[in-house]
Structure 1
C-alpha cells in the first residue's frame, strides 16, 4: 500500500495558507473488554497524542475494561447504546434505538446504558450517546437530555449544532472500512479524496467547521492495512491544521 496523499496535502496547504484550524476527534466503536486489538488502538493513540472516544457497549462491558481504561491516558469512554442488538424487522436497516418497540423500552435501555457505564467508569465517562449503526429516531433523541446525555454522535456532517435543546451533535465523517463490500480498507484514493472534499467544504463555508471532524474506527475488525492507513491519515491531519478535541465531562 502506497497511498497518493497529494489531494489531501494540497487541501491542507490551503488551510495553512489561510491560517485555519481543524478541530479533530477520534471515535472507536464496540468495546467490551481488553483485547490485543484494544492495546494496538491505545498504543496508536499515545503515539499520535490524540485521545480515542471509546464507544462501549454497556450490557457487555467488563470490569476489566474499566480497569484498563482507568490506567490509560488516552481512552475516553462514551455510551454505545445498550446491547448493540438489532430491533428492526427484516428488510429494514439495523437499529437499536428507532421506533421498533415501545418508547418505554427504548428509554429504559438508554438510561441503563448511562447508569451502568457511570458505575464502571465514574468521572472518566463522558455524557455522549452513540446509537449502534449511527441510527436513532428523533423521538428518542428528544428524551436523551433528560437522562443526562449532553452529546449525540452519529455520522455525516451535522445540520445543526444542537440535535435538540441541551444536546450537542458531534458526528463522525470518515470510516476507513468498506462495510458494504470487502469489509476491509476502502481504496485509499477514495478515502483521501473524500477527506480532501470534506475539508474543502469546511474551508469554503459549505459545512460547519465548528463541528469537530470525526474519524471512526472499529478496532476489533481491523487488519494491518486499516491500522496503517488510519495512523497515517491522523498523523497528516495533526501535522497540518488539526487540533485535538475531546468531549467535556459535563
Structure 2
C-alpha cells in the first residue's frame, strides 16, 4: 500500500510504501518512522480516540490517526487553520483562547439534584476532546481568525443548557460578536467530529436563546441601519 504525506519545509509530497492491511493510520506512521524515515514528525497520545492529539486530514477530511484505517493512495496532511510546527504537528493552542473569549466554563453553579433527562441534555457536548477537527473544517474560521468557532460555541451551549448554572447572560453576550451570527450553518464541522457532536445544532440553539434574550443578527441590523429593533438587546 502506498500513502502520501505532506512534509513541512519541502515543496513536495512524499510517498511511502508499506505492507499493511486493516490497521490504523497511526500504526502505519509508527512503522514508517521506526523502519523507514525517522524524520517524519506527527503527534499522538492515548491511541484510543480520547485525547484528540492525532487529528490530521486524509484526502481532504479530518480524522483521528488512531481510528482511521488507510487505503491505497491516501494523502495525509496536517489539519488546516493552525500553524504547522513540523510535518503533521500543528499548534492548536488557539482553541483555548476562544474558550476564554466565549466564557466556556461553569460559573456560579448551584448544588442540587439533576434528573437523568437534564443530564442527557449536555452529555454529548461534554465529550469534546479538543482535537480541533471542527476548526480545520470551518470555512468561516479560514477567513476570519477571530471567529470563536465550533468547539467554543458548542461548549457555551453545554453550560447555557445546564440547569445548575444560575446565570447565562455573560455567556450569551460573549458570543454575539465573531460568534453565533458569523457562522454560516454550513455543517462542515458535524461529520468530522469524532465524538459525534453537532456544533451546527448547538449554534442554532444559541441563536434561539439569544433571540429570547433580545439579541438579533447584527448583520441584519446593519442592513437596516441599526436601531432598537435591529440588533440591540432589549431588556
TM-score higher than 0.5: no
Name whichever structure is richer in strand by fraction. 1
Q: Which has the larger radius of gyration?
A: 2
After TM superposition, the score normalised by the length of structure 1 is: 0.23
Name whichever structure is richer in helix by fraction. 1
After TM superposition, the score normalised by the length of structure 2 is: 0.24
